[in-house]
Amino acid sequence: MTNASDWQGAVGKSWAQEWQRTDTSFGELTPHLLAAIAAEPGETIVDIGCGAGELSIAVGLARQQASVTGVDISDDLVKSASARSATPNVTFVAADASQLQPEGARPDLYVSRHGVMFFPDPPQTFAHLAAVAAPGARFVFSCFRKPSENDWATSLAALLPPSDPPAQQRFAPGPFAFADPDHVRACMAGWRDHSFTPVDFVYVAGAGVDPVGEAMALFRRIGPAASALRNLPEAERTEVETRLLALVEAHLAGGRVTFPAAAWLITATSDHRNG
């Protein structure tokens, strides 16, 4: 489980410092999102949970007449995104999506790459986003399908000591919180006409001159291995690191460390009628 205070604190800081590596890891998903977004009208575009801003910038470059605002709850990520962006129609704002008050025109297109499954109260937040958007606004976002379809997650989990099962709660924010389409429909209060397109992509853990070193650096800072490693006593940490290295080396091929990954591309239309 990764909650809002994790993103506002250490997790957001790690993602901000590691943005080149997280861009690489998700990079093969971005063209699928851009193709889905290109099929939608929209001049006032908001990227929810924009992180370090790769998708916001790509959308801004593809739609130069549109204004694109990346919104994220982490100040550190908004600073990273702002520092790297030189795209005049793209701006970044630190805000919690559940209380977003867009300035100027109402958003007519929300986009997100894996940024919406961390809301503590998804029905409230989706209803709020519909209420502050233009009537008939569209949403295009990606999220992971279930862990058993995401080899990177199951392989990492197999290396780590078992953790306590999370407390049973209806909306537990986390990377796999939106794996079940029925649950997503229940979360998306204020939105209708959902479509779910499965996208299989390659999760690139490491590339470049030292792909194994890059993948180790990514997993030490980002995701489930990072949080387990932070909390383990030294002897156990060394053992997990050894197993992690063997896993990474086993996935090295063609100069990259890759894992099969599975996402949903989800679209929906705002049902909010009061404008």
Ligand X SMILES: C[S@@+](CC[C@H](N)C(=O)[O-])C[C@H]1O[C@@H](n2cnc3c(N)ncnc32)[C@H](O)[C@@H]1O
Q: Which residues bind ligand X (CB under 6 A)?
A: 4, 7, 12, 15, 22, 26, 49-52, 54-55, 71-74, 77, 96-98, 113-115, 118-119
CB of 142 to ligand X, least distance (A): 8
CB of 129 to ligand X, least distance (A): 10
Nearer to ligand X, 14 or 239 (CB): 14
Find residue 68's DSSP bridge partners. 45, 90
Give the 3-state secondary structure of residue 253: strand
Q: How far apart are CA 15 and CA 7, in angstroms?
A: 9
Write the DSSP symbol of residue 14: H
CB closer to ligand X out of 94 and 229: 94
Helix (H) or strand (E) holding 230: helix 224-231
What token pair was written down for 230? 């932070």
**What is the smallest separation between the CB atom of 210 and ligand X, expressed in angstroms?**
22
In sequence order, the 6+-apart residues with CB closer than 8 A to the CB of 112 are 47, 48, 49, 50, 55, 139, 140, 141, 142
Distance CA 201, CA 259 (A): 9
Judged by beta carbon, residue 108 or residue 118, the one nearer ligand X is 118
When the beta carbons of 202 and 252 are compared against ligand X, the nearer one is 202
- Taking the complex as a whole, the smallest distance from the CB of residue 26 to ligand X amounts, in Å, to 5
Q: CA–CA separation, 234 vs 239, rounded Å?
A: 9
Nearest CA among 114, 107, 77 for reference residue 94: 77
- Least distance to ligand X, CB of residue 181, Å: 20
- Give the shortest CB-197-to-ligand X separation in angstroms: 18
User: Considering beta carbons, is residue 99 or 233 the nearer one to ligand X?
Assistant: 99
Q: How far is the CB of 241 from ligand X (least distance, A)?
A: 24
Q: Which is nearer to ligand X, 73 or 244 (CB)?
A: 73
DSSP conformational letter for 75: H
Of 97 and 159, nearer to ligand X (C-beta) is 97
DSSP 141: E
**Please, what is the Cα angle at 204 between 154 and 119, to 5 degrees?**
65
Q: How far is CA 128 from the centre of its chain?
A: 20
